[in-house]
Amino acid sequence: MAQTPDNSPAYAAPGPAPRSAGLKWFLVITFGLIVVIGVLIASFYLNDNSHPGVKVIRMEGALSTGDFSDASGVGSEYVGDQLREAADDPMVEAIVIRVDSPGGTPAAAEEIISDMEYAKTKKPVVVSMGDMATSAAYYVSAHADRIYASPDTFTGAVGVIWTFSDISSWMKQEGYNVTVVKSGDKKDMGSSSRPMSTGEREYAQQIVNESFERFITDVTTQRMIARSDIDDGRVITGDDALKINLIDKLGNLNDAIAGAKELAEQRRK
């Protein structure tokens, strides 16, 4: 309100509304949208740096449980977390697992398979075998929607092995003596300071047989493979693996990526 020259009150004409606050919020919202769109586009085109829409997960070295990936091998939690992350990523349309592993523990394979099955409910999962994908590494691979390998890739070796060492003769020769106090007759089973007893050997064989039965039953169910073609535990080359349905196609990583995109396209139809 303003005043007249005689100091009597009067209504002043309204001035222009302030625009700075509205412009500020407009610019903030616009900038935020640009950043979000930019991140989404970068995620799509830079996923795995070179394969837009396809996430390549590397499973290399011996498999064991744990959250790690180093020169000694890779952990089931590490691989599983990557599988679930890719499965839940809307910018990933397919997953390729690059396998180069001699195998590992059955428990590690079973943990990875669980996360792999979760990923398969959301998008295709394809395996690309490198130099080797044997034993537990094949156990995992058998659950893929499609498997690629090179003609000379080593795969198969479907089986379970448990190795015990006995250096008791050397210890006796060198004068070493070990005294064991235990709560049960099998508590020190597998000790290298003495031979295994007959009962221990039978028990170890029972564990191996049970683990092998789970392994081969799962593989022959997933891949429709004749048990007699793989139950001897031998290593099989990619070329021969194709003939008995251990793998689906001969090809390298790029072929597997192209195949994964093809499967993703089929899902969209």
Q: Are residues 189 and 148 in the same domain?
A: no
Residues acting as catalytic residues: 135, 187
User: Which residue range forms the structural domain that includes residue 188?
Assistant: 159-229
Q: Are residues 222 and 128 in the same domain?
A: no
- Between the alpha carbon of residue 256 and those of residues 38, 82, 87, 259, the distances in Å are 28, 18, 17, 5
Q: Which residue, among 85, 185, 102, 191, has the nearest Cα to 140 in the 3D structure? A: 102
Percentage of the chain beyond pLDDT 70 is 83
Q: Are residues 145 and 184 in the same domain?
A: no
Percentage of the chain beyond pLDDT 90 is 79
Residue 133 lies in a domain: yes
Residue 134 lies in a domain: yes
Task: Report how far residue 100's alpha carbon sits from residue 97's, in angstroms, rounded to the nearest whole number.
Answer: 10
How is residue 143 annotated by DSSP? T
pLDDT per position as a tens digit, 243-253: 999 999 999 99
pLDDT per position as a tens digit, 141-167: 999 999 999 999 999 999 999 999 999
Domains contained in the chain, number: 2
Residue 248 lies in a domain: yes
Task: Report how far residue 216's alpha carbon sits from residue 136's, in angstroms, rounded to the nearest whole number.
Answer: 11
Q: In this predicted structure, what is the pLDDT of residue 47?
A: 46
The CATH number of the domain holding residue 90 is 3.90.226.10
User: What mean pLDDT do residues 261-265 have?
Assistant: 96
Q: Are residues 110 and 186 in the same domain?
A: no
Q: Are residues 74 and 119 in the same domain?
A: yes
Residue 149 lies in a domain: yes
Residue 135 lies in a domain: yes
SS3 152: coil
Q: In this predicted structure, what is the pLDDT of residue 126?
A: 98
Q: Are residues 139 and 261 in the same domain?
A: yes
Q: In this predicted structure, what is the pLDDT of residue 28?
A: 65
- pTM for the full predicted model: 0.81
**To the nearest whole number, what is the mean pLDDT of the chain?**
89
Query: b or e along 187-213 (b: 16 or more beta carbons within 10 Å of the residue's beta carbon)?
Result: eebebebeebeeebeeebeeeeeebbe
Q: In this predicted structure, what is the pLDDT of residue 29?
A: 75
Residue 57 lies in a domain: yes
- Between the alpha carbon of residue 145 and those of residues 69, 90, 97, the distances in Å are 25, 19, 11
